[in-house]
Structure 1
């Protein structure tokens, strides 16, 4: 089981050699998409915004438990996600405020699946 492997060995195998380790970590969960907007500067709203799905509860706990050896910058965790017919690789980011993780949704995925702010989506996530 990969939980017994050294986290640096796991990182090396994934990043340097391109090998993915089997994890057996899969979750399906639902929630509403929401938008984070950049800070107002000089009285003007920021043009920067991101769509997210918040991950909490048992799913967030499972990601945290499986994260050693799979983390990147800012404590993000590499994941694979499926929404409808769209499969992509990204990272989830830890959020103290949410008490879990934030899953970003890029524009191409939202457009292909026809979803936006406030829509409740069901995703499959795996490590």
Structure 2
């Protein structure tokens, strides 16, 4: 599967112990599609990647980059971290509703 998953999601800020992260969360049908890809990948490779992540090409506006999405809540939610570089390039701030797409690699 290399279907592109697209959604309009709120950009969230999460404060960790040592750093601040910005992210979006895929849920519902989008999360199901990413979970399906992760399961197929595990069947093909016989193992899963670190933290159960899936490599993706992500896009917001004109900015495209390679990253990974990470499962949360038993794969009912997938997290994509958004770097400061992407936020600056696309003029984003926490709370903005952004159209984001990811294509599993």
Shift in CA distance, 124/116, structure 1 to aligned 2, threshold 3 Å: same
Larger radius of gyration: 1
In the superposition, the TM-score normalised over structure 2's length comes to 0.85
> Which of 2, 7, 11 pairs up with 1:33?
11
More strand by share: 2
Mapped to 1, the partners of 2:90 and 2:74 lie a distance apart of 28
Structure 1 residue ranges, 4+ long, deviating more than 3 angstroms after superposition: none
Q: Is 1:126 equivalent to 2:103 in the alignment?
A: yes
In the superposition, the TM-score normalised over structure 1's length comes to 0.71
Structure 2 unmatched ranges of 5 or more: 43-47
Structure 1 unmatched ranges of 5 or more: 1-22, 40-45
Q: Which position in structure 2 is the counterpart of 1:10?
A: none
Which one is further off, 54-63 or 67-76?
Answer: 67-76
Higher relative contact order (Cα pairs below 8 Å, separated by 6+ residues): 2
Q: CA RMSD in A?
A: 1.8
Paired residue secondary structure (1:24): coil
